[in-house]
Structures are given as structure tokens and as C-alpha cells.
Structure 1
Amino acid sequence: MEMNKDKKLNRREFLKVLGGGAVVTAAALCGCGRRESDTAASALGPVPTEGMTMRTNPTTGDRVSLLGYGCMRWPTLPEHAGGARAGEIDQEAVNELVDYAIAHGVNYFDTSPAYCRGRSEQATGVALKRHPRKSYFIATKLSNFAPSTWSREASLAMYRNSFDELQTDYIDYLLLHGVGMGNGMRDFEARYIDNGVLDFLLQEREAGRIRNLGFSYHGDVAVFDHLLSQHDKYRWDFVQIQLNYMDWRHAKEINKRNTDAEYLYGELAKRDIPAIIMEPLLGGRLSKVPDHVAATLKEQRPEASVASWAFRFAGSLPGVLTVLSGMTCMEHLQDNLRTFAPLEALTDADREFLERTAQTMLRYPTIPCNDCKYCMPCPYGLDIPGILLHYNKCVNEGDVPASAQDAGYRRARRAFLVGYGRAVEPERQADHCIGCNRCVHHCPQNIDIPRQMRRIDRFVEKLKRETL
């Protein structure tokens, strides 16, 4: 089977080129930038070509890879590519990532009509269609967030379009997307109950066009509890939750509307409902921890990446079916293969160590942005995720000074301002926010985005005027 028509590599040659060695190549393939501290936090050693840890779905008997591919952050063509294609998904890069993942045992691919500004399903479908249908599982979602999609007609049109985009006649794992977001039960009922859409999806499962039916949860725990109380009626085949070593016991300290993952996982385990894990890295924050935290993690396991600790935490729980990772670059995929092929489960001492690490991390209050881009596009052109992620990066690197009297103030001031100008174009920065609040309803982390934009803008102005 050819992996790349231009290079004409067969499977064995493809694995030979990309399968061995330490961190290779492919940051360039996806345009992944690296900092010096990123290199220090990466893993060492060869990429395993076999040995992927598998879990069994108790409902269908599916043998699912413990590492699942999250298709929210597919690589895009560089802006300097020119023409209408700049900024679009790089299909060739997606194909190579999917080929490499499947060749190394990954068989679960999670997408949505909302991902990559509506383009993820199509790109995922193109890449997967080149492989035998029985060799992978497709997970997608009914992402009817906007009130304009709450009617039965609009919701079913979205559902049916997923089959076309993914080029398939059945969905292995179909999710009600983001239940608990917005106005909690009121929105859930408008999206799925009042219009009869959930009844329709149950019929689709009976007909075999949906093999497993579940939901992904964000926000209002009353919705989560209600849906589990209806398990005898709906027979949820799986549930997707946010879980990592920070959210396990400290979710409310990070974001007051979130629920501790220990509770969510425990409620699923009581009912033998498999858990799918999203945000194991907390939007990337657990792979880009403050330098002294990274040093502590590396001291414990010098050969392992910082991110591997978070993935091992999620994967060590026996009720977890798969752990999703949005792997934009080949180096991310290769690093995760080192972790999951096979998984080395955490010890009790490891868990205690990670709890101490979580408590340390709580002293560095970042904004809980997971870079999902549900808030985009902003009608006034702001790069909302870019602004929030730059701020978080500077928090982690100690470049958010409290005052001009701080040690290293000059260096931190320059790092924040220069980095801000590079990360976010001037016309897309926080000072252009007018507080329209359109973004707030779409944020699964319930961030008060306009308030954060005002706060960051005030901080930037103080740095520029040196009045901090």
C-alpha cells in the first residue's frame, strides 16, 4: 500500500523512514515549533513499532487502542503558502500522520463537525478511507451548539452530513457533544429531547448505523448526573470526560464550574460505563509546565517526556477505553507511542508524586483555555485562543511580573511583549475586544472571555507604559 503517492513509499519503507530512532523529522512536516525547554522535556529512545496497549469495549467487544487520535488540531498549510489554500488543513500531512498511527497500532479517531472550523471530518475521512474500514473506529459528534441547529431538521442534517464527510455508512462511536455547556439542562433538552433527536439516535443505534452511543460532558454536573440516572433507559455505551492529574481532585480550583474527574470517573465505574478521556494534558498545559516542575518530572524519569506523566495517569485507570490526544505533529505522535506501546501503569508512589505536582501547579494560575477554538471565529477578528495561550505560556515561564520591582522584570517585560507581537497579529490582540459576549456561550470551560481580554489588555498597556 502506498503511503504517499509522490514519494511512492510502501508500508515497510514508510516504517523504515519514520519508525525508528529518537525524536525525528516531522516537526517540520507539521510546522511544530520547539523551544529549548521543549527539547529538554521530550522523550528519548526509539519509537516502538508494536506493543500498543489495547482495551476491550464490554458492549461490542471492540479492541480499542489505549491511545486515541483526537482530530481537533490537524496541521494546516502555512500562511506563507499563498493563494486560497493558506491556512487550510494540510491533507498530505494528515494522511501521513494517520498512516503512521495505524501502522503503530492506533485505531480510534475522534472528530466532530465543529473541529478545525468545520473541516476536520472531511480531512479525517479522506485519510481513513485509504485503509480497510475494519482497521479503525470512527468517533464523531452531533455538535449542535448553536440555537440555529437545535431544530430536528438542522440536527439531523448535521448528523447525516457526517456520514458524507467521513465517507462511511456507519459510525462506530457517536457522541452528544458537550452536554452541560451553556444553560445546562435547558440547552440539553432543547438540543436533544424537545426535538426528538435523542430518540432518533437510539433508533439509529438499533439499526446499526451507530454502533456505540454516548456523550461528552462539560460544565453543569446536574446534566451529567441526570443522564447517568437515565442509564437504564438510554444504555450509554461510553461517556467522554475531561480527566488529568490536575482535574482529578482540583477541577473547581482551576475553573469553578468544572467537576472533579475523580467523581466523574467514579460514577461511570459504578455503572461499568467505559470512559473516553479528553484533555489529558489540560489543553497542553501539562506538557508545558513551569521549568522547575518539568525538572522534577524529568528527575523521576529522565528518559520520559513531561507529557507522558499525564498520559500515564489517565491510561492507568482500568475503566478507561481510550485516551485522546490531539497530535498535530509527528513528534507528538511518536512521543505518545513511547508511552502507550505498551503503557507502564502508575504505581501508588507515582500517584502521590503527581498529586504533589498538581498542588505545586495550582500556584501558577493560568487561564483554563484548552485551545478548542469553539469561540472562533470572533466577529471582530480577535485571535482569542492565541491571546490566552500566550498569556499561559508566559505564566509557566515566569514572564508575567507582578510589578516593576520584581527580579528579572526587564527580561520578563520584553519576553511578554515581544512574544505577544509574534504570537498574535496587532489587529487581533485583546485591545480590539468590544465585549459582545458571543464567544462566552461556546466556551466549554466557561471562561469569561471578555473579562480576560480586558485584564490582559490592561496588563499589556501597563507593560508598554512601564506603569506596572
Structure 2
Amino acid sequence: GFSYHGDIKIFDLLLQWHDEGKYHFDFALIELNYLDWTYANEINARNTDASYLYGELQKRNIPAFVMEPLLGGRLANVPHPVAVKLKRKDPERSVASWAFRYAGTNEGVLTVLSGMTYMDHLKDNLLSYCPLDPLDEEEMEYLHKDIAEEIVGFETIPCNDCKYCMPCPYGLDIPAIFVHYNKVKTENRLPISPRDENYAKYRRQFLIGYDRSVPKLRQAKYCIGCGRCISHCPQRINIPEEMEKMDRFVEQLKQSDAQ
């Protein structure tokens, strides 16, 4: 088998070799979850939708091993309005269990890989899979349409706080920078326009929170754009570009106070 992480041309080439009989693949490891099913490419043009990867394997009856069912924890820590919806839909289930059941429901999935930090994570996984309670069509549609669409609508930086980009050779705390921005964004507290009624309050909260979350010497302005982090990011984020945007945004907020 093979594990796919890279250029879609490589994925297609491997399946072409399978079709030609050059290799016979008994399985393939792909990233599959309800957000990446339709929106992986929209979130990041360098990624490929899981629906395509899974569909190509299904055409050839190649079983799938699934990685990133929670998108590095992102689907266990969804924005608060989304979490409220999921809990309202089924109060007895955890937010994470929806993603695990989604991954396991797809036909031809042999294994779902999950990284667990705490005993509670293990217990929740066991409840999700022993035995698996597959999602029905209505629930699958609910995740695809209602939940995934709402998550994408927040337009956050697709960082999962996996820390694969760390350590930064110049000392930046890359995940902490993204986590702070995304948290403010999903809580609808991002200071956008000085004309907004709450701009002054949100601006102050953002800057104070930024300094508390990220030590000054580890903030975005110290990025030199070396690009060493890019190849380590599973989500293929152009980190130097995002650091430049973040620094520009922070400086604009600081300048608005001086005006």
C-alpha cells in the first residue's frame, strides 16, 4: 500500500501503475473527514478533496486507511456555534464522535487512525467504534451541508495546532499566532473597520490577547520568510505569507490607535 500526502499527480500516477499491473495496492492511506470531503481544495488550493481520493480508490476496490479524521483536532474543537448545533442534534454524543463515525461509515474504510492524548479521548473513540453506529444519509448530509459549510464560512487559517512546523529557527511560535487569530475570528470579535461600533473594544482585546498568547519576541513580525516551515505543514499553509499578513494586520491595529 501507500500513504498519500503530496501532489495529486503522484496519487494519480500510483493508481495508473495499479491499473497497468505494474503494482498492486492492497490499501491506501488518505486524509478523509467531513470538512475535507468537499472543501479541502477550497481551503487550500494545494490540497485535494477527499471525495476524489476516496472515489478513485473505490473505483478500483482499493480499501482505504483513514488519517486525520479530526483534522489534527480541528473537528473536535469546532467554533462554538457549530458545537452547539452538534450537541443539539445529539446531546449524548461528543463533537469528535461525529467525525469518527463519519470516517468509519464510508464503505471500504478498513482502519481509522487517531492520535489520542488523554484517557478520555480513548474512551470516546471506543464508544464511537465498539460497535460503530454508522451515520445515516440524513446525518451525512447534515455534516456535509450544515456543519462543513458553516465551518468553512468562518474563513480561519487552516492550522490544526499540530506543531509540525516547530521549532521555528527564528523563535516564532507559529501555532500560537494562528490559534489566537482563529479564536478571535470564530468568536466574531475581529476588529475590521474603525466604523464598527465595537471596533475600539475588539482592537484592544485582540492586541492584549496577542501579547498574552505569544511572547513579543515570538510574534509574526520576526518572521524572515525563510520558508523552512512550509514543507512540514500537513495543511500546506504558506506560513511566511500568513505571518506577513498577520504582522501587517497587527501593525494596522497599532497605528489606528495612534491616529
TM-score normalized with structure 1 length = 0.51
Q: Find 1:311's aligned residue among 62, 78, 100.
A: 100
> What does residue 229 of structure 1 align with?
16
Q: Find 2:157's aligned residue among 367, 388, 412.
A: 367
Render the CA deviation track for 1:339-388: whole Å, top value 9, x for unaligned. Answer: 22222111111011112221222211111223343322221111222222
C-alpha distance in 2 between matches for 1:334 and 1:413: 41
> 1:252-331 to 2 correspondence within 5 Å?
252-331=41-120
Q: Percent identity?
A: 60
Moved more, 308-317 or 416-425: 416-425
CA drift of 1:292 comes to 1.8
Render the CA deviation track for 1:134-167: whole Å, top value 9, x for unaligned. Answer: xxxxxxxxxxxxxxxxxxxxxxxxxxxxxxxxxx
User: Which structure's CA Rg is the greater one?
Assistant: 1
- 1:244 pairs with 2:33: yes
C-alpha distance in 2 between matches for 1:283 and 1:367: 14
C-alpha distance in 2 between matches for 1:411 and 1:323: 44
C-alpha distance in 2 between matches for 1:315 and 1:274: 12
Give the direction of change, closer, same or farther, for the CA distance of 1:451–1:233 in structure 2 (3 Å limit). Answer: same
> Contact 1:280 / 1:325 at 8 angstroms: preserved in 2?
yes
- The one-letter code of the counterpart of 2:93 is A
> Contact 1:219 / 1:446 at 8 angstroms: preserved in 2?
no
C-alpha distance in 2 between matches for 1:373 and 1:316: 29
- 1:346 pairs with 2:147: no
> What does residue 388 of structure 1 align with?
178
CA drift of 1:444 comes to 3.2
> Contact 1:240 / 1:277 at 8 angstroms: preserved in 2?
yes
Give the direction of change, closer, same or farther, for the CA distance of 1:407–1:307 in structure 2 (3 Å limit). Answer: farther
> What does residue 5 of structure 2 align with?
218
> What does residue 425 of structure 1 align with?
215
CA drift of 1:414 comes to 4.4
Q: Find 2:192's aligned residue among 391, 398, 402.
A: 402
C-alpha distance in 2 between matches for 1:275 and 1:390: 35
C-alpha distance in 1 between matches for 2:185 and 2:201: 14
Greater fraction strand: 1
Give the direction of change, closer, same or farther, for the CA distance of 1:444–1:402 in structure 2 (3 Å limit). Answer: same
Moved more, 362-371 or 428-437: 362-371
CA drift of 1:295 comes to 1.4
> Contact 1:290 / 1:398 at 8 angstroms: preserved in 2?
no
SS of equivalent to 1:322: strand
> What does residue 71 of structure 1 align with?
none
C-alpha distance in 1 between matches for 2:233 and 2:25: 25
- Gaps spanning 5+ residues in structure 2: where? none
SS of equivalent to 2:153: coil
Give the direction of change, closer, same or farther, for the CA distance of 1:421–1:272 in structure 2 (3 Å limit). Answer: same
Give the direction of change, closer, same or farther, for the CA distance of 1:292–1:371 in structure 2 (3 Å limit). Answer: closer
> What does residue 336 of structure 1 align with?
125
> 1:57-72 to 2 correspondence within 5 Å?
none
Moved more, 386-395 or 356-365: 386-395
- The one-letter code of the counterpart of 1:451 is E
- Gaps spanning 5+ residues in structure 1: where? 1-213
SS of equivalent to 2:249: helix
> 1:46-125 to 2 correspondence within 5 Å?
none
Q: Find 1:436's aligned residue among 226, 232, 243.
A: 226
C-alpha distance in 2 between matches for 1:415 and 1:343: 43
C-alpha distance in 1 between matches for 2:80 and 2:70: 16
- The one-letter code of the counterpart of 1:216 is S
CA drift of 1:407 comes to 4.9
Count residues in correspondence. 255
CA drift of 1:260 comes to 1.1
C-alpha distance in 1 between matches for 2:204 and 2:116: 31
SS of equivalent to 1:277: strand
Give the direction of change, closer, same or farther, for the CA distance of 1:415–1:280 in structure 2 (3 Å limit). Answer: farther
Q: Find 1:460's aligned residue among 243, 250, 253.
A: 250
CA drift of 1:256 comes to 0.8
Render the CA deviation track for 1:48-68: whole Å, top value 9, x for unaligned. Answer: xxxxxxxxxxxxxxxxxxxxx
CA drift of 1:303 comes to 1.3
C-alpha distance in 2 between matches for 1:276 and 1:386: 31
